[in-house]
Every structure is written in structure tokens, then in C-alpha cells.
Amino acid sequence: MRALSLVLLLWSSASVTFAQAPVDALDQRFERQANDAARLRHVHGGLSMGAGALLLGWAVAGYADGVWSDPSPSAGLLSIGVGLLGGIQGLVWLLIESEAEARLARFRSAPPTTDAERYRYEGEDRAYTGAARLQRALVRWTGLGMVFGGALVIGASAIDDVMPTGWKRSGYVMGAIHAALGAVIMTLSTFPSPGESSSGRRFALAPAGGPGYAGLAFAGRL
């Protein structure tokens, strides 16, 4: 009878630890992935909005100063368009929740209670690498768009014959800042985040016991 009790104790201890360890590990991985995705979109959104607002403010100030009184296309109109595009783009990145953040909220609101539910989340975990690469690719393309927009502002300032010299130089500076921030965004999105590393499951035997009993437990880690 005591031998049967020990076997049951071993089985129950191993089952509880085996089920709990992967769930806790998934929560930690999902939290790390959500933090990585949130950091990327916040940095990208903030830089894009800042660059767009700076360029837009410069263009509006030029119109207020009468620099671009000619209704024909000019550096002022181009700067307004590029600035608005960058600002809207940054706002979208700041407001839209990433897939990793949504998954973490879903996981914590309804943690898996069965093996089938846990396996489904493990599948999402393994698919995260592809989703993270896609997100970084989108960020790189938008950063490239900022570089291109900054180059357009520099070119438009250079060919605007009626533009005062001081404003022409400031146009070069504004375009260079816009392009430089785009290059920073592209560079930051090149490096994979820690959460993109592929997961592997590891198991180990660990002693389990308490007053009056002893046993072994399986410990799993993702």
C-alpha cells in the first residue's frame, strides 16, 4: 500500500510540475516577445512622428514668412506632404497593437488549462519568428521611405531658384535630419530581437518532497 502511494505521489507531482513549468515559460516568452514588439513600434513611431512634425513645422513657417508664395509645386508643398506622411505613419505605429502584445493579453486573460490549448500557444510561439521578421521588414521599408523623403526635400530645396539662401540651407538641414532618422530606424530594425530566438524544450528530473513523503518531479522549460 505504501509502495502504491509512493507511485501515485510520483505521478501526481510529475504531472503538476510538467504542466505548470511550460505554461510559466510560455508566459515569460510571450512577455519578452511583446516587450520587443512594443519597443520597436514605439521607437519607430516616435521617431517618425518627430521627424514629420519637424519637417511640417518648417514648411508651415516658410509659408507664414512668405518664402513660398508661388502656388506652383515647391519645397514647401513637398515638405508638407512628406511631413504629414511621416506623422501619420508614426501615429499608426503607436496606436496599433502588435500581434505579440495581443497574444500576451489573450494568454493572461485565459491561460491554457488543457494540453490542446497549451500546444496551440506553443505553435504560436514557434510561428513568432516569422511574424517578427515581417514586422522588422515593414519598419525597414518605412525607414527607407523617410530616407527617400528627406532626399526629395534636399533636392527640391536645391532646385528652388526663388528660395532665400537661409531657407535653402535650412531645407538641406531638415531633409538631412529626416533622412538620418529614417536611416536610424532602418538600422534598428535590422537586428533581430531576443524574443525571435527559436524555442526548444528541455526536461529534467528534480526532487520533490515534503514532511513525510519524497519523490521525483519532471521540470520542463521552453
* Full-model pTM: 0.70
Count of CB atoms situated within 10 Å of the CB of 20: 12
Q: Among all chains, which residue has been given the C-alpha cell 495581443?
A: 102
- pLDDT tens across 150-199, in order? 999 999 888 887 788 888 899 999 999 999 999 999 998 888 876 666 44
- pLDDT tens across 21-45, in order? 477 888 888 888 888 889 888 999 9
Q: How many domains does the chain have?
A: 1
Please report, for residues 36, 107, 121, 138, the alpha-carbon distance to residue 26 in angstroms, rounded to integers and kept in the order given. Answer: 15, 9, 8, 26
Range of the domain at 74: 2-221
- pLDDT tens across 129-151, in order? 787 888 888 888 989 999 999 99
3 state DSSP class of 209: strand
Point out which residues pair with 221 in neighbouring strands.
202
CB–CB of 168/153 below 8 Å? no
